């Protein structure tokens, strides 16, 4: 079974089944009952022939003898018993199918919740190195495959295996000679099954890889549809998609081919087994003058064995079909639980859980950092931002400005040096508490597909009345009321109905109402028109009042009045001072400033 699925991860997954154990027990019990009632039908048919239709001259069958000695039932009553068994079997089958699928849906709901919770707590570095489409595949497509494995795979296969066990046991108990004849090809079938599942597992591994590629490709091209269109690359990208889709299709066809070979193999073995029963029974009949009794077999028992063999191979055919589901689910199962069990991808949550810092200084002490080994982005940064003061960071692209922000917010963990807020190292702070104290406004604003109000109050339960009061204080109430329905205006997916400036203003409002004591602006005014920029400048002055703030800006007109400016170049601080001091130095900052005046 180790080859069929990842046993270690399966055992770990049982924690998701624990809340529904009683339902699982009832489902397993119904599976056992269903197997018993199914196997009982051929036995009842045997009794019907041996007692009522074609009774043997000498009854050597123990089951028939026991029934005749202990029960006296008319043929009509006996037929009613058979029909009753059929109805009970159908009802139990309905219960089993419903409950197994019901449990599976509850289990995968919990697995999906757990996986999404883990993903939310992964380090930012994971998302930098992992295509979004691949993450979506894990949460949606792979989880669905796991769900099918639970509903149509494991529990159903358990029922099929139990039915096979009951049938084989009964066959040997009833007539071991006929049982050996009937099952003579069974080892070949087991061998075929092992070979089949081996090839199917490899194929399904490739299918999951290809479907992940499809999701990544589609997601990226929908997201970047403007780039595809502006460069007229629709035909080329369509060809790329067709190639990926072709690979995905080919592997699916390969799995269909294997299944198409395996299913007839089962049918052939089934037909051979039934043929052997007829041959053996017929041979014994003719060699014993049509008298079954000489080899301890009745006509009813012969018919019963034919039905039992057909019933035996039916769950094997069903299991062959379920192997597809099981193998697909197994591959997805391993991928999902690889993420769920990944502890090295999680952010460190340990640390002091003290409440707000209020306004305290920020100090960088010998901070060096690299995203890739031997590629320094920051080199020995020593810097202090006094409590309640503002700092602007200026420098060319790739100088390490945004990396400083990523380290303060612990989107990336420090490897060399330390950062202090007040007298506390951020390494010793709980991540949630740290970020609760930091308000961040990014250049690339992200908004959810919802109303302005829902985006502004993403992290808080403030009412519309409270929000309107804050907006009026900020001087942005007219700006919000300019939209149809005001705060209730739906901005579309990613804020598609808003301009870049409007997005940034809404992001600014969202950060403002957090009342964080530390405020960070990362290129927050780089893409604003002059009118919107004036609104932002006015709000910024209100926001940073008596707060420790950091502003990253390419547009130097927005930072003239900050308390300190540093110029970053190649990951090092080359200059620092006020705007006037740096202009007088006529160094890097002065050259940078002059280029914006031209």
Q: Residue-wise over 225-262: b if at least 16 C-beta within 10 A, else e?
A: eeebeeeeeeeebeeeeeebeebbeebbebbeebbeeb
Domain of 463, CATH number, reads 3.40.50.300
Please report whether residue 198 resides in a domain. Answer: yes
The total domain count for the chain is 2
How far is Cα 445 from Cα 471, in angstroms, rounded to an integer? 19
Same domain, 91 and 221: yes
Domain of 304, CATH number, reads 1.20.1560.10
Using CB atoms within 10 A of its CB, is residue 412 exposed (0-12), middle (13-18) or buried (19+)?
Answer: middle
Q: Residue-wise over 422-431: b if at least 16 C-beta within 10 A, else e?
A: eebbbeebeb
**C-beta of residue 347 within 8 angstroms of C-beta of residue 121:** yes
Same domain, 86 and 221: yes
Q: What is the 3-state secondary structure (H, E, C) of 300-337?
A: HHHHHHHHHHHHHHHHHHHHHHHHHHHHHHHHHHHHHH
DSSP 55-93: --SS---HHHHHHHHH----HHHHHHHHHHHHHHHHHHH
Please report whether residue 432 resides in a domain. Answer: no
**pTM for this prediction:** 0.72
Which parts of the chain register pLDDT below 50? 1-5, 289-295
The whole-angstrom distance between residue 257's C-alpha and the CA centroid of its chain comes to 29
pLDDT digits (tens, 9 = 90+) for 220-245: 787 777 677 767 788 888 898 899 89
Point out the domain boundary residue: 295, 312, 340.
340
Nearby residues of 413 by Cβ (< 8 Å), 6 or more positions away: 123, 348, 427
Q: Which domain holds residue 511?
A: 439-562
Please report whether residue 474 resides in a domain. Answer: yes
Q: Give the per-residue pLDDT at 5.
A: 47
Residue with tokens 């400016």: 565
Q: Give the per-residue pLDDT at 147.
A: 75
**C-beta of residue 159 within 8 angstroms of C-beta of residue 31:** yes
How far is Cα 54 from Cα 51, in angstroms, rounded to an integer? 7
186-223 helix and 299-340 helix, angle to the nearest 10 degrees: 30
Please report whether residue 291 resides in a domain. Answer: yes
Point out the domain boundary residue: 325, 340, 355.
340
Q: Give the per-residue pLDDT at 594.
A: 82
How far is Cα 279 from Cα 126, in angstroms, rounded to an integer? 65
Please report whether residue 376 resides in a domain. Answer: no
How far is Cα 255 from Cα 199, in angstroms, rounded to an integer? 8
Same domain, 105 and 230: yes
Please report whether residue 455 resides in a domain. Answer: yes
How far is Cα 365 from Cα 383, in angstroms, rounded to an integer? 7
Residue of 484, 523, 269, 508 whose CA lies nearest to 397? 523
Q: Give the per-residue pLDDT at 378.
A: 92
Same domain, 320 and 453: no
Point out the domain boundary residue: 282, 311, 340.
340
Structure tokens at 255: 């799995």
The whole-angstrom distance between residue 159's C-alpha and the CA centroid of its chain comes to 28
Please report whether residue 388 resides in a domain. Answer: no
Same domain, 123 and 258: yes
Please report whether residue 410 resides in a domain. Answer: no
Same domain, 109 and 254: yes
Give the pairing type, strands 518-522 and 438-441. parallel
How far is Cα 559 from Cα 392, in angstroms, rounded to an integer? 6
């Amino acid at each position: 079974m180790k080859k069929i699925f990842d046993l270690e991860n399966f055992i770990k997954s049982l924690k998701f089944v624990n809340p529904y154990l009683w339902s699982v027990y009832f489902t397993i019990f119904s599976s056992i009952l269903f197997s018993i009632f199914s196997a009982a039908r051929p036995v009842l048919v045997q009794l019907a022939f041996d007692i009522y239709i074609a009774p043997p001259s000498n009854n050597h069958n123990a089951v028939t003898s026991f029934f005749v000695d202990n029960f006296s039932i008319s043929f009509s009553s006996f037929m009613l018993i058979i029909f009753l068994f059929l109805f009970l079997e159908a009802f139990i089958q309905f219960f089993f199918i419903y409950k197994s699928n019901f449990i599976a849906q509850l289990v995968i709901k919990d697995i999906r919740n757990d996986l999404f919770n883990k993903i939310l707590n992964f380090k930012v570095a994971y998302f930098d190195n992992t295509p979004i489409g691949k993450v979506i595949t894990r949460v949606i497509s792979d989880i669905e495959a796991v769900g099918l494995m639970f509903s149509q795979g494991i529990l159903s296969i358990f029922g099929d295996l139990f039915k096979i066990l009951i049938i084989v046991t009964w066959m040997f108990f009833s007539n071991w000679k006929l049982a050996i004849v009937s099952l003579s090809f069974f080892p070949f079938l087991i061998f075929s099954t092992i070979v089949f599942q081996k090839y199917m597992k490899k194929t399904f591994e490739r299918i999951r890889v290809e479907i992940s590629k499809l999701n990544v490709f589609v997601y990226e091209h929908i997201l970047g549809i403007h780039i595809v269109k502006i460069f007229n690359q629709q035909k080329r990208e369509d060809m790329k998609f067709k190639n990926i889709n072709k690979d995905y299709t080919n592997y699916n066809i390969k799995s269909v081919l294997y299944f198409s070979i395996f299913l007839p193999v089962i049918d052939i073995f089934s037909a051979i087994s039934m043929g052997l029963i007829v041959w053996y029974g017929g041979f014994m009949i003719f060699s014993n003058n049509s008298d079954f009794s000489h080899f301890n077999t009745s006509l009813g028992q012969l018919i019963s064995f034919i039905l039992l063999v057909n019933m035996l191979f039916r769950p094997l055919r069903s299991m062959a079909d379920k192997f597809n589901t099981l193998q697909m689910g197994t591959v997805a199962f391993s991928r999902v639980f690889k993420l769920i069990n990944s502890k090295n991808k999680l952010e460190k949550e340990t640390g002091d859980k003290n409440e707000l810092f209020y306004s305290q200084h920020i100090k960088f002490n010998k901070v060096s950092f690299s995203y890739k080994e031997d590629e320094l982005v920051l080199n020995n940064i020593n810097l202090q931002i006094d409590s309640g003061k503002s700092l602007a960071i200026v420098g060319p692209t790739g100088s390490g400005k945004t990396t400083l922000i990523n380290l303060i917010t612990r989107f990336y963990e420090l490897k060399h040096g330390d950062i202090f807020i007040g007298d506390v190292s951020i390494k010793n702070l709980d991540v949630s508490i740290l970020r609760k104290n930091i308000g961040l406004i990014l250049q690339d604003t992200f908004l959810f597909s919802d109303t302005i109000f829902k985006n502004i109050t993403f992290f808080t339960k403030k009412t519309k009345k409270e929000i309107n009061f804050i907006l009026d204080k900020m001087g942005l109430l007219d700006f919000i009321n300019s939209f149809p329905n005001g705060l209730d205006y739906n901005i579309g997916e990613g804020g598609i109905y808003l301009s870049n400036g409007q997005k940034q203003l809404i992001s600014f409002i969202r950060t403002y109402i957090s009342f964080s004591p530390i405020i960070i602006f990362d290129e927050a005014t780089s893409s604003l028109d002059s009118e919107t920029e004036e609104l932002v400048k006015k709000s910024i002055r209100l926001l940073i009042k008596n707060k420790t703030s950091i502003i990253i800006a390419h547009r130097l007109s927005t930072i003239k009045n900050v308390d300190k400016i540093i110029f970053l170049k190649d990951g090092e601080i080359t200059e620092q001072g006020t705007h006037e001091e740096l202009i007088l130095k006529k160094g890097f900052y002065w050259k940078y400033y002059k280029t914006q005046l031209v």
